[in-house]
Amino acid sequence: MIHDSRWDPTVTRLRGAKRVVALTGAGISAESGVPTFRGPEGLWKNFRPEDLATPEAFARDPQLVWEWYIWRRGRIAPCAPNPAHHALVTLEQRIPDFTLITQNVDGLHRRARSRNVLHLHGTIWEVRCTGCGRVEENRDPDLAFPPLCPACGKLRRPNVVWFGEALDPTILSRAEEALQKCEILLVVGTSAVVQPAASMALWAKKAGAYVVEINLEPTPLSRAVDMSFQGKAGEILPRML
Ligand code: BJW
């Protein structure tokens, strides 16, 4: 393997680091076969976010929204974690204080056995009652419509965060805390356009972290970070470790 000196500062820092955060987006699961949102093959190419990923869309046509989520569950279910997910598990085992913040709802980090995972945008494998708020795991591939709450009889929705909705304040403050104190932040496979996740690299940088981006292409963050690697997460992350 050819030695590339651009890797040295990151590799050296990772070796000595005690507090590391990884922030991941849809790109980390792309090599597992999970569709991303943006880009030529992305979900938003064929679907409009405002028709499917907003509370207004769900209020207007819950069946349409549920059909989309059931279809996505079917796409995700056969997908397995890839070398990038596994590399982050290895990193967690080496670093005393490691936090994985993910925007992904696919559950692949947990399946890979990452332990300290903060799901900023929820999970596609849970349902939440719009009446009483009860949350339950649900992996039913043929979820019948309408999915009603066994406790209060109201309609249940996917337990994800749609545009215009607030993130869980507990998860957000745990993420903020980890970003404030980390020495290194790895930003992997996110287009960095959806807030507040898109600002997290800047928060960490301001607090003194060394920020490394891994993405197939440049993003709005690329100029602001300390090091930007272009390529597949499933190739770069294992090599970096
Ligand atoms: C690879 C690769 C490989 C490919 N290797 N790389 C401030 C300014 C402007 C707007 C806002 C703002 N604050 C809030 C907003 C509004 C909005 C927002 O950000 N809009 C922007 C689009 C303009 N944000 C919100 O509404 C958020 N809520 C909020 O802030 O609430 C405030 C509030 C407070 C109090 C009361 C009420 C409200 C919520 C955002 C929720 C986002 N939800 C979704 C859907 C989740 C459920 C689901 O999955 O169905 O989350 S949208 C979608 O985008 C999903 C993703 O998590 C998110 C980010 O996408 P991501 O992960 O970056 O994926 P892609 O596809 O965009 O990019 C993939 C990248 O990977 C690409 O760069 C590729 O190059 C790369 N890649 N293969 C490495 N192998």
32-42 pLDDT, tens digit per residue, is 999 999 988 89
Nearest of 241, 91, 240, 97 to residue 177 by alpha carbon? 97
Centroid of ligand 1 to alpha carbon of 195 (angstroms): 6
pLDDT of amino acid 2: 61
The larger pLDDT score, comparing residue 143 to residue 172, is at 172
Among protein residues, the one with the nearest Cα to ligand 1's atom 70 is: 190
How confident is residue 231, by pLDDT bands cut at 50, 70 and 90? very high
Using a 6 Å cutoff on CB, does residue 42 contact ligand 1?
Answer: yes
Among protein residues, the one with the nearest Cα to ligand 1's atom 15 is: 195
Among protein residues, the one with the nearest Cα to ligand 1's atom 71 is: 27
Using a 6 Å cutoff on CB, does residue 187 contact ligand 1?
Answer: no
Give yes or no for a contact between 218 and 228, defined as CB atoms under 8 angstroms apart.
yes
From first CA to last CA, the distance across the chain in angstroms is 14
Taking the whole predicted model, whether its pTM rises above 0.95 is answered as yes
pLDDT of amino acid 47: 87
Q: Which atom of ligand 1 is nearest to the CA of 44?
A: 66
DSSP letter for 44, please: G
3-state secondary structure (DSSP) of residue 125: strand
Residues annotated as part of the active site = 121
Counting beta carbons within 10 angstroms of the beta carbon of residue 229, is it exposed (0 to 12), middle (13 to 18) or buried (19 or more)?
A: buried
pLDDT of amino acid 1: 54
Average pLDDT over residues 140-151: 92
CA 121 – CA 111 distance, rounded (Å): 17
Going from the C-alpha of 33 to that of each of 50, 75, 119, the distances in angstroms are: 24, 8, 20
CA 5 – CA 55 distance, rounded (Å): 48
